[in-house]
Amino acid sequence: MSDPKPIKRLAFVLNQTKSGASELLDRLKEAAIERGVEIRETSEFPVPDGFLEGIDACCVIGGDGTFLSVAAESTRRQVPLIGVNRGTLGFLTTYTAEEIEEALPAVLDGAYKVRSRGLLECQTYEDHMDLALNDVVIKAALVSRIAHLNVFADDEFVTTYVCDGLIFSTPTGSTAYTLSAGGPLVHPASKVISLTPICPHALSNRSIIFPEDVELRVENAYPNERLLVAVDGQRNLSTSRDCPIRIRNSSQSLPIAQKLDYSHFNVVRRKLKWSGGYAGDRD
């Protein structure tokens, strides 16, 4: 990624349902306009195709769901996203409202760093593909049913899962759904794919970490039972009984604008109230 540059054209994406978000947008717009920055804004989800064309950066005000809704357009245009958290945990929206108001003048001058986040490519038909920043989840279409899923890695049979579903996660998504299912925390700079079963009917419930260049294939062992494929918890892909589901790392990536002192583990400790163990005095 090239070095950050001053921001002359700034887009805003607003989730109007979040408390205080509209008022924060007004203050940020006023501060940006005072510095001669060209403004574009929307509260439409997902953002319209082409919304970020010609834009230097995009400030997303909301929660992680709002951030995810802009990811596809940001990836297409390679426009860095500045996430401002007005939701709950906010792993992707790492600025607080107070932080962005204080830091905005410096950010507009280029005081930020851009980091690329890997994406998963999920294909259900030859011409039916989508990108995931967090995860791809495969479940039985009927919530009362159990899925029977054969998994292959580069044509090597892995195993058959009898479970509520499977979560294929990026490192970025390791703090999302897969975390709740007992999956591993993975540093976002890694390029691996993690697979975590959801409520498997087995005593050995373990995640698997696959290398970056693997192609994973999932086949429905009970083809009469329909499957649901959810991308980032926002979009569903249709499936066919005859076509396997293919998952691989994408050649594309999402640019994210972060604070200069951003620390992934600081975010994990703060958001999850996490500690490695007893932190008392050492003799």
- What distance in Å separates the CA atoms of residue 282 and residue 273, rounded to the nearest whole number? 22
Confirm if 122 and 136 have CB atoms less than 8 A apart. yes
For 111, residues 6+ apart whose C-beta sits below 8 A from its C-beta are 4, 103, 260
In three-state secondary structure terms, 105 is: helix
Rg (CA), the chain: 20
Point out which residues pair with 161 in neighbouring strands: 149
Active site residue 64: yes
User: Locate tokens 């989800």: which residue?
Assistant: 45
Task: Tell me which of 64, 130, 135, 164 is the catalytic residue.
Answer: 64
H or E segment to which residue 201 belongs: none
For 148, residues 6+ apart whose C-beta sits below 8 A from its C-beta are 160, 161, 162, 220, 221, 222, 225
Query: CA angle at residue 222 from 181 to 199, to 5 degrees?
Result: 15
Q: Is the peptide bond before 48 cis (omega within 30 degrees of 0)?
A: no
In the structure encoding, which two tokens stand for residue 212, read together? 């970056």
User: Locate tokens 């195993």: which residue?
Assistant: 159
- What distance in Å separates the CA atoms of residue 137 and residue 116, rounded to the nearest whole number? 23
* Catalytic residue set: 64
